[in-house]
């Protein structure tokens, strides 16, 4: 069994390896510190599961997830994030991840999640499962779930106080392109300015 862990925080990454090594003593582990290294290692070898931090330097983790599912469609991916479930879980699961966990969960839950994915299943917390059940009876989800992955990434950085120029540098895009995404976000969320955008983000747990 081979498990690849992709996370830019080396201490956390080593901790995850130790937790999983205790639970899976026969497993072999690989590590990656950024998106490109993770993709390179996936191309170089066969892996049974990928544990992926969604916020790493460089390319958006959502983009990496999409590329993983295109290049390695059978690989189960467990996404780890420091963001609350309501901010990202639905998006990454729709993007092809087999499971989602907040980084603050207990070690036992991480082991349960990896074991479930290795068995061919999917894993979400009890809270998230309850939310999915509630949404079955709702006609529409929240407006921010209509944003593209790129628009969502720009939204996240805008409400985090980043400037158009800073976001452009981070995503290797032009300021004009970021401004276009900015306008589309306003339109899709039905807000008229950034004050309303921040209010929306706060009310939906996106900050």
| Domain final residue pick, 135, 154, 176 | 135
Tokens describing residue 142: 């929240």
Same domain assignment for residues 125 and 158:
no
The gap between the terminal CA atoms of the chain, to the nearest Å, is 37
Number of domains in the chain: 2
Same domain assignment for residues 92 and 148:
no
The model's pLDDT over 58-107, given as tens digits with 9 standing for 90+, comes to: 777 778 888 888 899 899 999 988 776 666 777 888 888 999 888 888 78
Same domain assignment for residues 124 and 149:
no
pTM score of the predicted model: 0.68
Domain of residue 163 covers: 143-203
Domain with residue 28: its CATH number is 3.40.50.2300
State whether the Cα torsion 93-32-19-70 is positive or negative: positive
Structure confidence at residue 163 (pLDDT)? 93
Mean pLDDT of 150-168: 91
Contacts of 63 (CB under 8 A, 6+ apart): 35, 149, 150
């Amino acid at each position: 069994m081979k498990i690849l862990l992709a996370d830019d925080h080396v201490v956390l990454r080593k901790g995850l390896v130790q937790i999983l090594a205790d639970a899976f003593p026969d497993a072999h582990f690989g590590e990656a510190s950024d998106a490109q290294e993770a993709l390179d290692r996936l191309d170089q070898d066969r892996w049974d599961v990928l544990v992926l931090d969604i916020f790493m330097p460089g390319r958006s983790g959502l983009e990496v997830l999409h590329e993983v599912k295109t290049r390695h469609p059978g690989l189960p991916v467990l996404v780890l994030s420091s963001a609350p479930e309501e901010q990202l879980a639905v998006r990454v699961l729709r993007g092809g991840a087999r499971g989602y966990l907040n980084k603050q969960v207990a070690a036992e839950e991480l082991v349960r999640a990896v074991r479930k994915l290795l068995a061919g299943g999917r894993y979400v917390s009890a809270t998230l499962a309850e939310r999915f059940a509630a949404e079955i009876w709702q006609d529409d989800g929240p407006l921010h779930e209509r944003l593209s992955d790129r628009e969502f990434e720009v939204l996240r950085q805008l409400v985090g106080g980043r400037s158009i120029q800073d976001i452009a540098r981070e995503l290797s895009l032009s300021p004009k392109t970021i401004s276009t995404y900015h306008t589309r976000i306003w339109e899709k969320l039905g807000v008229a300015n950034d004050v309303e955008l921040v209010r929306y983000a706060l009310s939906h747990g996106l900050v």
